[in-house]
Amino acid sequence: MKILITGTNGFIGKNLVAELGNQKYNNIFEYAKETDASLLDEYCKEADFVFHLAGVNRPKDESEFMDGNYGFTSTLLETLEKHQNNCPVLITSSIQAELNNPYGASKKASEDLLFDYGNRTKAKILIYRLPNVFGKWCKPNYNSAVATFCHNVSHDLAINVNDPNVVMNLVYIDDVVEELIRALNGNPNLAGEFCEIPVVHTVKLGEIVDLIYSFKKSREDRSIPNMSDPFTKKLYSTYLSYLPEDQFSYELKMNIDQRGSFTEFIKNPDRGQVSVNISKPGITKGNHWHHTKNEKFLVASGIGVIRFRKIDSDEVIEYFVSGEKLEVVDIPTGYTHNIENLGDTDMVTIMWANEFFDPEKPDTFYLEV
């Protein structure tokens, strides 16, 4: 299948081209502002499907809305019709097509042009009136509040929120691309004469800003956002794509003593805490037990032994562990336990606990194994 995509240097275009490549669609005609205009004729002659994503949404003069949106749409359709190519044409319009403003008027005019073309040629027409789209590769400080907020917060720049109670309808770029490819394969999400993206997130602007600031703070408190919430998960992925390239990494606080070190990595109130424990050769750590707090140990490097003793028993149970054979050892409640480095190099253990350490209620009681 030969696919013509206009606007391939734009936000949606870049993401669509990337995913089509992932799915092994190899015959893609990419058309952008910088493309030799003469190629449009060749592409329109050969195309089996057209994604019309090109458009103008932030011109220097309002007259450019009609020229860039309606005008180029007209040129595209005329070229297809010249070659009697009645392949399906999909266009990304905007919910502003319902509004009385220059941008909305240009989108509505383009839609009407498409419907007329479809009625005349019997070509299949697919129109998506998109709300605000967010995700990676969207240009900040342009026409996306989410992109601007993610960029500015990650770069320690100020943001301006006039009304935090404004409700936004948002669609995520991956959901958009997934739906566009479904349409390519003949299975669009139809809603009357238009098509729709199935997943729309309705969120207040203030809530979005609070989440983005919490993402920035999560590096300091080693927390992980609530990935069970679909919008939070998508917004966090978006935020990370705007990190300055010299700030992908961040330091953790290592608690170091003569025995080695203990470093908190990540924590989540619902999923517990992950830490990295480094033990020097011959060192034993632990010798305590818990009522309810439970843990999992994974020795990633080195060799050692994890010992257990039920607090009302004299029997000692031993589990020998090694980075050569990765296995998780559960630390049951009611058993005092320790871990000893039996090797001659540092032993690295990944430790998970079901809850944060609370100094007011540590649930940790010293008792030699």
pLDDT digit string, tens, across residues 24-62: 999 999 999 899 999 999 999 999 999 999 876 665 556
3-state secondary structure of 287: strand
List phi, psi (to 5°) of 58. -145, 65
Which residue, 114, 77, 75, 71, is CA-closest to 92? 114
CATH of 3-210, picked from 2.30.30.100, 3.40.50.720, 3.30.470.20, 3.40.50.360, is 3.40.50.720
Which residue, 221, 214, 220, is CA-closest to 235? 214
Please, are residues 203 and 242 in contact by the beta-carbon 8 Å criterion? no
Which residue, 284, 298, 302, 297, is CA-closest to 346? 302
Choosing from 103, 117, 128, 239, the catalytic residue is 103
Which residue, 73, 112, 264, is CA-closest to 194? 112
CA angle 238, 32, 136 (to 5 degrees): 5
Please, are residues 299 and 348 in contact by the beta-carbon 8 Å criterion? yes
Strand order across the beta sheet in which 260-268 lies: 254-257, 260-268, 272-279, 347-353, 295-301, 328-331
Q: Which CATH superfamily is domain 254-366 in?
A: Jelly Rolls (2.60.120.10)
Q: How many CA atoms lie within 13 A of 214 on its CB side?
A: 14
CA gap 317, 308 in Å, rounded: 5
Active site residue 103: yes
pLDDT computed for residue 105 by the predictor? 83
pLDDT computed for residue 64 by the predictor? 60
Q: Can you read off the two tokens belonging to residue 47?
A: 């195309």
Q: Can you read off the two tokens belonging to residue 211?
A: 């989440």
Enumerate residue ranges in the chain where pLDDT < 50: none
Same fold flag, 3-210 and 254-366: no
Q: What is the pLDDT of residues 336-369, one digit of tens each?
A: 999 999 999 999 999 999 998 889 999 999 999 9
What distances in angstroms separate CA 206 from CA 113, 119, 149, 312, one per listed residue?
38, 44, 11, 54
Q: Is the pTM of this model over 0.85?
A: yes
3-state secondary structure of 293: coil
Which residue, 255, 269, 257, 262, is CA-closest to 221? 269
3-state secondary structure of 233: helix
Spell out the domain ranges in the chain.
3-210, 254-366
Which residue, 121, 105, 130, 120, is CA-closest to 52? 130
pLDDT computed for residue 63 by the predictor? 59
Instruction: Kindly tell me the number of DSSP H helices and DSSP E strands found in the chain.
Output: 9, 21
CA gap 267, 250 in Å, rounded: 16
Map 104-154 to HEC letters: HHHHHHHHHHHHHHHHHHCCCEEEEEECEEECCCCCCCCCCHHHHHHHHHH
CA gap 239, 227 in Å, rounded: 14
What distances in angstroms separate CA 27 from CA 30, 69, 172, 252, 326, one per listed residue?
10, 26, 26, 47, 45
Q: How many CA atoms lie within 13 A of 40 on its CB side?
A: 23
